[in-house]
């Protein structure tokens, strides 16, 4: 049996065409069922639904043989023990710095002020501000980052931006793009050796089906 770890939402939806290219149909809709293990049309393959940030952990420890996860999540996890054969070019977005529209970020950086930065992406944020020589106090959050500058918890946030609608709706502006993000296929290294006969064809089919330049999200 091969187990593929996916998170609900965009990654799940955008992985379906790749699975189809590998001849695999997921037989249940996660939006209509509360099941966490979904059968597929291939009796040798099943999908498990996990939190996005847990996908690398499942694959690292063999709870899943394969997974699809954002580059952001992989960087925060560290990526240890994971074979990363493919950038799937799906779930594209970016990690950016955003502040309240009335906060003068450029002056704060120029003056060497110490910035309070709220984020779920502490590794990415730490490395980015260190590379700029900006001193920051990082505040770890697990969601709704946009609230932090609005409530005075932080001066800035580091968060995913896709359409920019969430920032706009909360009167925040993007002041720096840190990196572009897309989702990757990750594979447990032992599984790759022991279950080659099933896993290799899936990797190859995914590789063939990658859309090279989808419209920027």
Q: What does DSSP assign to residue 128?
A: H
Interface with ligand PRP (CB under 6 A), residue from 53, 89, 123, 162? 162
Distance CA 102, CA 172 (A): 9
Distance CA 156, CA 71 (A): 22
Q: Is 14 in the site for ligand PRP (CB under 6 A)?
A: no
The secondary structure of 14-36 as a DSSP string is: HHHHHHHHTT--B-S-TTT---S
Interface with ligand PRP (CB under 6 A), residue from 80, 163, 213, 216? 163
Q: Is 164 in the site for ligand PRP (CB under 6 A)?
A: yes
Binding-site size for ligand PRP (CB under 6 A) equals: 9
Write out the H or E segment, with its range, that includes residue 170: none
**Which residue, 150 or 190, is less far from ligand PRP as judged by CB?**
150
Q: Is 31 in the site for ligand PRP (CB under 6 A)?
A: no
* Distance separating the N- and C-terminal Cα atoms of the chain: 34
Q: What does DSSP assign to residue 181?
A: E
Q: Could you tell me the smallest distance in angstroms from the CB atom of residue 122 to ligand PRP?
A: 14
Q: Is 53 in the site for ligand PRP (CB under 6 A)?
A: no
Give the binding site for ligand PRP (CB under 6 A). 143, 159-166
């Amino acid at each position: 049996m091969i187990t593929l770890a996916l998170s609900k939402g965009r990654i799940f939806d955008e992985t379906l065409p790749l699975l189809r290219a590998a001849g695999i149909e997921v037989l249940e809709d996660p939006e209509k069922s509360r099941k966490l293990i979904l059968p597929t049309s291939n009796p040798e393959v099943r999908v498990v639904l996990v939190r996005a940030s847990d996908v690398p952990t499942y694959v690292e420890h063999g709870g899943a043989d394969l997974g699809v996860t954002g580059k952001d999540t992989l960087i925060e996890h560290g990526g240890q023990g994971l074979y990363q054969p493919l950038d799937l070019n799906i779930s594209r977005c970016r990690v950016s710095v955003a502040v309240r529209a009335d906060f003068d970020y450029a002056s704060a950086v120029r003056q060497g002020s110490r910035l309070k930065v709220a984020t779920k992406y502490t590794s990415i944020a730490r490395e980015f501000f260190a590379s700029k020589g900006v001193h920051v106090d990082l505040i770890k959050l697990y969601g709704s980052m946009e609230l932090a500058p609005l409530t005075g918890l932080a001066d800035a946030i580091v968060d995913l931006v896709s359409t920019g609608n969430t920032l706009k709706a909360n009167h925040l502006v993007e002041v720096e793009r840190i990196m572009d993000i897309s989702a990757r296929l990750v594979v447990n290294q032992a599984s790759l050796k022991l279950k080659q006969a099933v896993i290799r064809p899936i990797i190859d089919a995914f590789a063939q089906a990658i859309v090279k330049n989808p419209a920027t999200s």
